[in-house]
């Protein structure tokens, strides 16, 4: 690991000042330390923000508000999370391992780097790590890579599970930085790779994620997360789906659908949602709607299976949420 | 740039005493430590040297941190790059905690930090000033094994034993969290600990047994 200077801050102002001057925030460290050890990440200054009072988890009316420093395990186990947004709890539990969930913060989870093997292989070309060097995955081992939102420069998936649930539920995030505070949908945090895959998010320099707000909705209690992977637990998704349904009798009033493991960012499926609206709960409805998820997919040499797996995963998740699985 | 091993700023000058079998000549561990000491003596100038480049980042060669390890307060001077795992193994000579993958994937380095299980390879010791750390060495009371240690023996919860300290620390937390309620739950909540000998049936049985007794 290369040398760095380390500073622990007690106030948000000190944190933002340090980051505006080029320091990297560190919270749980589960991504950053790992990548620093491999010298994929080479920060010269670290600013430890764990002492900041941003780990609160609370209800605000029907909304669930999660401090950016709250740990994944604490959010998943929290009474208000289970009461208001069980989908958030379920998606968190399906991610990483108990040890990592005890360490990883919610803000860090959203900002975690990709798990493409070439990204951390210093002798392989990777536009994310070394802009302009090329993408080793496009013609390489790409079974785990994306089929949506890819470019000729990067095909890595966003690895977070809870981000998929947050995007499905229309969560927003509040950030503070040198220019003040702003709030925006979590979905807008993530950039598509395009021809600048090294730029992964829309935070401005020095901005700090403060909290995440998950709005309540009539679909929140009828929501499930299904993660399909090579092992039963502690593995990244091949395909995952976060779905939420509001039903009246046998009729779907509205639906929320987002998917993971297939996109270069967590992928909201608005066409699928629209196709579910007003239809009867059941496999025929789910299958017809889920087929719309394939629009715009571009499979690579080794991940054609995701084209088949994606709609099937959505159908099964909808059946779980709709109580017909 | 020369890649130096900063993982071992101290701990290479340890004597042969104070280890597992001090009365019967050098142990395997002490011989390995001697070999490691010789190797890193040769590398010492590089390890101590500051970055040669003048525009290199400012680094303190040592940072002070206090850790309460298995109930004892330890005031330490460490390199900010040292993980808790490296401080335990290299600075404090507590080699019960194992370094497997060193990237948070295998769970061999699991310890409790303020009562919570974490992978000690993935967190910097400098971030945990004042923290209470419990390692495998801190579980037994004198000669009396922790119930989960005893259960691992009873249920053959290991073969080679390398993952065992991490399995047991993770299992202690799994039970305390209330996640050891069924074999299925134990499998899921212990999945952060890999056993390449695949002693999983024994591990699950041991955790279930100890959970039932506590």
User: How high is the ipTM of this complex?
Assistant: 0.96
- Output B142 or B22, whichever has higher pLDDT: B142
Residue B114, Cβ neighbours under 10 Å: how many?
13
pLDDT value, residue A1: 94
Q: Regarding beta strands B116-119 and A239-248, do their DSSP bridges make them parallel or antiparallel, or are they unpaired?
A: unpaired
Phi, psi of A283 (to 5 degrees): -65, -35
Residues A258 and A297: their CA atoms lie apart, in Å, by 15
Q: Which residues of B touch A48 (CB under 8 A)?
A: 126-127
B126/A232 CB distance under 8 A: no
Measure the CA–CA gap between B111 and B67, rounded to whole angstroms: 13
The candidate with the shortest Cα–Cα distance to A41, out of A141, A108, A134, is: A108
Q: How far apart are alpha carbons A56 and A80 in whole angstroms?
A: 11
| Contact (Cβ atoms closer than 8 angstroms) between residue A258 and residue A241 | yes
Nearest-CB residue to B57 (from A3, A33, A98) = A3
pLDDT at B18 over 70: no
- The rounded distance, in Å, linking the Cα atoms of B7 and B209 is 38
In the block, tokens 């490296």 appear at B86
Contact indicator for A192, A141 with CB cutoff of 8 Å: no
Read off the pLDDT of residues A260-316 as tens digits, 9 standing for 90 and up.
999 999 999 999 999 999 999 999 999 999 999 999 999 999 999 999 999 999 999
Q: What was the pLDDT predicted at B45?
A: 39
- The residue ranges of chain A whose pLDDT is under 70 are none
Say what the pLDDT of residue B40 is.
45
Residue A125 buriedness (CB in 10 A; 0-12 / 13-18 / 19+): middle
Tell me which residue has tokens 């019960």.
B96
- Residue A325 confidence (pLDDT): 74
Q: How many CA atoms lie within 13 A of A93 on its CB side?
A: 19
Contact residues, chain A, for B193 at CB < 8 Å = 97
Q: Let me know: does A262 contact A285? Beta carbons within 8 Å.
A: no
- Spatial distance between the Cα atoms of B144 and A172, rounded to a whole number of angstroms: 52
- How sure is the predictor about B62, in pLDDT bands with cuts at 50, 70 and 90? confident
Phi, psi of B144 (to 5 degrees): -90, 115
Q: Coil, helix or strand for A300?
A: coil
Yes or no, beta carbons of A99 and B107 under 8 Å apart? yes
Phi-psi region of B203 (alpha: psi -120 to 50; beta: other; left: phi over 0): alpha
Q: In whole angstroms, what is the distance from residue A41 CA to residue B149 CA?
A: 39
Residue B32 has a pLDDT of 57
CA B70 to chain A, closest CA, distance in angstroms equals 19
Adjacent-strand bridge partners of A213: A65, A172
Pick the residue from chain B with its C-alpha nearest to A39: B3
| Closest chain B C-alpha to A28 CA, distance in angstroms | 7
Burial A172-196 (b: 16+ CB within 10 A, else e): bbbbbbeeeeeeeebbebbbbbeee
Picking from A25, A90, A98 by the largest number of B CB atoms within 10 A of its own CB, the best residue to mutate is A98
Range name among A54-63, A176-185, B43-52, B192-201 with the lowest pLDDT average:
B43-52
* Structural contact between residues B120 and B109, judged by C-beta atoms closer than 8 angstroms: yes
Min Cα distance A110 → chain B (Å) is: 18
Maximum pairwise Cα distance, chain B? 60
Cα–Cα distance for residue pair A54/A152, rounded to 1 Å? 39
Q: What is the pLDDT of residue A324?
A: 83
Contact B205, B180 (CB under 8 A): no
Fold of A57-111+161-214: 3.30.465
Chain B hits for A4, Cβ within 8 Å: 57, 59, 80-81
Question: Could you tell me the pLDDT band of residue B47, with boundaries at 50, 70 and 90?
Answer: very low
Q: Is the pLDDT of residue B6 over 70?
A: no
How far is CA B21 from its chain centroid?
Answer: 20
Mean pLDDT of B83-94: 97
Task: For residue A97, list chain B residues with Cβ-Cβ distance below 8 A.
Answer: 107, 119, 191-193
Instruction: Tell me how far apart the alpha carbons of residues B103 and A94 are, in angstroms, rounded to a whole number.
Output: 19
When pLDDT is cut at 50, 70 and 90, the band that residue B213 belongs to is confident
Partner-chain contact A99 B80, CB within 8 Å: no
> Cβ neighbours of residue A273 under 8 Å, at least 6 residues apart?
A254, A255, A256, A257
Domains located in chain B, CATH noted: 1-49 (no CATH), 60-138 (3.10.20.30), 147-213 (1.10.150.120)
Measure the CA–CA gap between A152 and A193, rounded to whole angstroms: 9
Average pLDDT, integer, range B83-93: 97
CB contacts of A232 in chain B (<8 Å) are: 187-188, 191
For residue B2, what are its two tokens? 């020369």
Residue B166 DSSP symbol? H
Question: Of A239, A237, A242, whose CA–CA distance to A255 is shortest?
Answer: A242
**pLDDT, average across residues B80-104:** 97
B103 vs A8, A34, A44: nearest CB: A34
pLDDT for position B201: 98
- Fold for domain A223-322? Enolase-like; domain 1 (3.30.390)
| Rounded Cα distance, A114 and B56, in Å | 28
CB contact under 8 A, A34 and B104: yes
Tokens of A40: 């994929």
What per-residue confidence (pLDDT) applies to B214?
Answer: 73
């Amino acid at each position: 690991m290369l040398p760095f200077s380390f500073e622990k801050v007690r106030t948000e102002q000190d944190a933002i000042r340090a980051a505006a001057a080029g320091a990297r925030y560190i919270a749980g460290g589960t991504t950053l330390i790992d990548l620093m050890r491999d010298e994929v990440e080479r920060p010269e200054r670290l600013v430890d923000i764990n002492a900041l009072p941003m780990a609160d988890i609370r209800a605000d009316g029907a909304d669930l508000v999660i401090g950016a420093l709250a740990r994944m395990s604490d959010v998943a186990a929290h009474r208000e999370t289970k009461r208001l947004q069980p989908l958030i709890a379920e998606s968190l539990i399906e991610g990483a391992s108990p040890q990592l969930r005890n360490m990883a913060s919610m803000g860090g989870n959203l900002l975690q780097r990709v798990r493409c093997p070439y990204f951390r292989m210093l002798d392989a070309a990777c536009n994310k790590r070394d802009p302009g060097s090329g993408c080793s995955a496009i013609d390489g081992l790409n079974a785990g890579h994306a089929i949506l939102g890819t470019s000729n420069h990067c095909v890595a998936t966003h690895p977070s599970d809870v981000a998929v649930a947050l995007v499905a539920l229309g969560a927003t995030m509040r950030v503070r930085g040198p220019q003040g505070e702003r709030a925006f949908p979590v979905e807008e945090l993530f950039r598509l790779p395009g021809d600048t895959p090294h730029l992964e998010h829309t935070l401005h320099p020095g901005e700090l994620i403060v909290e995440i707000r998950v709005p309540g909705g009539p679909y929140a209690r009828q929501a499930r997360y299904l993660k399909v992977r090579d092992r039963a637990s502690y593995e990244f998704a091949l395909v995952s789906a976060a779905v939420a349904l509001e039903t009246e009798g046998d009729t779907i009033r509205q639906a929320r659908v987002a998917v993971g493991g297939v996109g270069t960012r967590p992928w909201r499926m608005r066409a699928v949602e629209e196709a579910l609206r007003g239809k009867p709960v059941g496999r025929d409805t789910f299958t017809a709607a889920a087929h719309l998820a394939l629009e715009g997919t571009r499979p690579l040499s080794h991940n054609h299976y995701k084209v088949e797996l994606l709609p099937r995963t959505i159908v099964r998740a909808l059946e779980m949420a709709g109580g017909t699985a | 740039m020369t890649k130096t091993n900063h993982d071992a700023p101290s701990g290479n000058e340890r004597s042969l005493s104070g280890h597992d079998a001090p009365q019967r000549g050098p142990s395997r561990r002490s011989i390995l430590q001697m070999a490691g000491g010789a190797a890193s003596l040769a590398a010492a100038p590089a390890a101590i040297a500051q970055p040669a480049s003048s525009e290199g980042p400012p680094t303190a060669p040592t940072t002070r941190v206090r850790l309460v390890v298995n109930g004892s307060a330890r005031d330490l001077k460490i390199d900010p790059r040292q993980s808790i795992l490296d401080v335990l193994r290299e600075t404090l000579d507590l080699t019960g905690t194992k370094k497997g993958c060193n990237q948070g994937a295998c769970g061999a380095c699991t310890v409790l930090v303020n009562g919570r299980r974490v992978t000690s390879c993935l967190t910097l010791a400098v971030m945990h000033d004042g923290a209470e750390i419990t390692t495998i060495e801190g579980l037994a009371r004198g000669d009396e094994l922790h119930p989960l240690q005893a259960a691992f023996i009873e249920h053959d919860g290991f073969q080679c034993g390398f993952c065992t300290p991490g399995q047991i620390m993770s299992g202690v937390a799994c039970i305390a969290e209330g996640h050891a309620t069924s074999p299925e739950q134990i499998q899921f909540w212990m999945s952060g600990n890999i056993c390449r000998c695949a002693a999983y049936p024994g591990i699950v049985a041991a955790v279930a047994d100890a959970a039932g007794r506590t």
